[in-house]
Amino acid sequence: MLGRATEIISDELQDGNLAIAQWLIDRVRPPGRSDYVQLNQDISLDTVEDIVVTSERIAMAVSQGEISLQDSNWLQEALGRHVQLKSIEELSELRAQVEKLQRNRSEQQTLNNSLVPKWGRLRKTDQKD
Protein backbone atom coordinates (compact mmCIF):
# COMPACT_ATOMS: atom_id res chain seq x y z
CA MET A 1 0.00 0.00 0.00
CA LEU A 2 2.80 2.40 0.91
CA GLY A 3 4.56 1.62 -2.38
CA ARG A 4 1.45 2.48 -4.36
CA ALA A 5 1.01 5.71 -2.40
CA THR A 6 4.61 6.67 -3.17
CA GLU A 7 4.00 6.10 -6.90
CA ILE A 8 0.87 8.25 -6.89
CA ILE A 9 2.64 11.03 -4.99
CA SER A 10 5.56 10.88 -7.48
CA ASP A 11 3.15 11.08 -10.42
CA GLU A 12 1.38 14.09 -8.91
CA LEU A 13 4.70 15.85 -8.28
CA GLN A 14 5.80 15.20 -11.88
CA ASP A 15 2.49 16.57 -13.15
CA GLY A 16 3.00 19.72 -11.08
CA ASN A 17 0.12 19.04 -8.67
CA LEU A 18 1.96 20.10 -5.54
CA ALA A 19 -1.19 20.65 -3.46
CA ILE A 20 -2.49 17.15 -4.21
CA ALA A 21 0.94 15.62 -3.53
CA GLN A 22 1.13 17.42 -0.19
CA TRP A 23 -2.41 16.31 0.67
CA LEU A 24 -1.49 12.69 -0.10
CA ILE A 25 1.73 12.90 1.93
CA ASP A 26 -0.24 14.25 4.88
CA ARG A 27 -2.62 11.29 4.62
CA VAL A 28 0.07 8.64 4.29
CA ARG A 29 2.61 9.66 6.92
CA PRO A 30 1.76 9.25 10.58
CA PRO A 31 0.91 12.45 12.42
CA GLY A 32 3.87 14.21 14.01
CA ARG A 33 4.12 13.29 17.63
CA SER A 34 6.98 13.50 20.03
CA ASP A 35 7.37 11.16 22.94
CA TYR A 36 8.93 13.86 25.08
CA VAL A 37 9.68 17.54 25.04
CA GLN A 38 12.88 18.83 26.54
CA LEU A 39 13.08 22.44 27.62
CA ASN A 40 16.47 24.11 27.88
CA GLN A 41 15.84 25.52 31.33
CA ASP A 42 15.44 23.64 34.59
CA ILE A 43 11.86 23.72 35.75
CA SER A 44 10.21 23.27 39.10
CA LEU A 45 6.61 22.23 39.71
CA ASP A 46 6.61 22.44 43.49
CA THR A 47 4.19 25.36 43.88
CA VAL A 48 1.43 27.00 41.90
CA GLU A 49 3.78 29.93 41.26
CA ASP A 50 6.42 27.54 39.84
CA ILE A 51 3.84 26.06 37.50
CA VAL A 52 2.84 29.53 36.26
CA VAL A 53 6.51 30.33 35.58
CA THR A 54 6.88 27.05 33.71
CA SER A 55 3.81 27.87 31.63
CA GLU A 56 5.39 31.19 30.69
CA ARG A 57 8.62 29.41 29.70
CA ILE A 58 6.64 27.05 27.45
CA ALA A 59 4.97 30.02 25.75
CA MET A 60 8.40 31.56 25.18
CA ALA A 61 9.76 28.27 23.81
CA VAL A 62 6.93 28.19 21.27
CA SER A 63 7.51 31.81 20.27
CA GLN A 64 11.21 31.06 19.73
CA GLY A 65 10.50 27.90 17.71
CA GLU A 66 12.04 25.54 20.26
CA ILE A 67 8.92 23.40 20.57
CA SER A 68 5.84 22.99 18.41
CA LEU A 69 2.46 24.51 19.16
CA GLN A 70 1.04 20.99 19.39
CA ASP A 71 3.60 20.04 22.06
CA SER A 72 2.93 23.32 23.84
CA ASN A 73 -0.81 22.59 23.95
CA TRP A 74 -0.15 19.15 25.41
CA LEU A 75 2.23 20.56 28.02
CA GLN A 76 -0.11 23.40 28.99
CA GLU A 77 -2.97 20.92 29.39
CA ALA A 78 -0.80 18.72 31.63
CA LEU A 79 0.28 21.76 33.65
CA GLY A 80 -3.36 22.78 34.03
CA ARG A 81 -4.18 19.45 35.62
CA HIS A 82 -1.07 19.63 37.77
CA VAL A 83 -1.89 23.12 39.04
CA GLN A 84 -5.35 21.90 40.05
CA LEU A 85 -3.81 19.10 42.11
CA LYS A 86 -1.25 21.47 43.66
CA SER A 87 -4.03 23.89 44.55
CA ILE A 88 -5.93 21.14 46.34
CA GLU A 89 -2.75 20.17 48.17
CA GLU A 90 -2.11 23.78 49.25
CA LEU A 91 -5.73 24.17 50.40
CA SER A 92 -5.40 21.01 52.50
CA GLU A 93 -2.25 22.38 54.12
CA LEU A 94 -3.97 25.69 54.86
CA ARG A 95 -6.96 23.89 56.34
CA ALA A 96 -4.65 21.91 58.64
CA GLN A 97 -2.94 25.14 59.76
CA VAL A 98 -6.29 26.82 60.48
CA GLU A 99 -7.49 23.82 62.47
CA LYS A 100 -4.26 23.83 64.47
CA LEU A 101 -4.64 27.54 65.23
CA GLN A 102 -8.24 26.98 66.30
CA ARG A 103 -7.20 24.14 68.63
CA ASN A 104 -4.42 26.28 70.13
CA ARG A 105 -6.84 29.16 70.66
CA SER A 106 -9.40 26.87 72.29
CA GLU A 107 -6.75 25.35 74.57
CA GLN A 108 -5.48 28.81 75.49
CA GLN A 109 -8.99 29.98 76.41
CA THR A 110 -9.53 26.86 78.53
CA LEU A 111 -6.20 27.41 80.25
CA ASN A 112 -6.96 31.09 80.92
CA ASN A 113 -10.34 30.22 82.43
CA SER A 114 -8.83 27.57 84.67
CA LEU A 115 -6.36 30.08 86.16
CA VAL A 116 -9.10 32.41 87.36
CA PRO A 117 -10.56 31.36 90.72
CA LYS A 118 -14.16 30.25 90.63
CA TRP A 119 -15.30 33.23 92.71
CA GLY A 120 -13.65 35.62 90.19
CA ARG A 121 -15.37 34.30 87.08
CA LEU A 122 -18.26 36.26 85.69
CA ARG A 123 -21.55 34.53 85.35
CA LYS A 124 -23.40 34.97 82.09
CA THR A 125 -26.03 37.07 83.87
CA ASP A 126 -23.33 39.34 85.32
CA GLN A 127 -21.67 40.10 81.98
CA LYS A 128 -22.44 43.38 80.23
CA ASP A 129 -22.44 43.80 76.46
**Mean local confidence (pLDDT), 4-15:** 83
What does the domain layout of the chain look like in residue ranges?
1-30, 35-114
**Mean local confidence (pLDDT), 46-59:** 88
Burial call 66-77: b when 16+ CB within 10 Å, e when fewer = bbeeebbebbee
What is the reported pLDDT for 68? 82
Per-residue pLDDT band at 22 (split at 50, 70, 90):
confident
CA–CA gap between residue 84 and residue 74 (Å, rounded): 16
Percent of residues, the chain, with pLDDT higher than 70: 74
pLDDT surpasses 90 at 24: no
CA–CA gap between residue 84 and residue 80 (Å, rounded): 6
CA–CA gap between residue 112 and residue 120 (Å, rounded): 12
Per-residue pLDDT band at 93 (split at 50, 70, 90):
very high
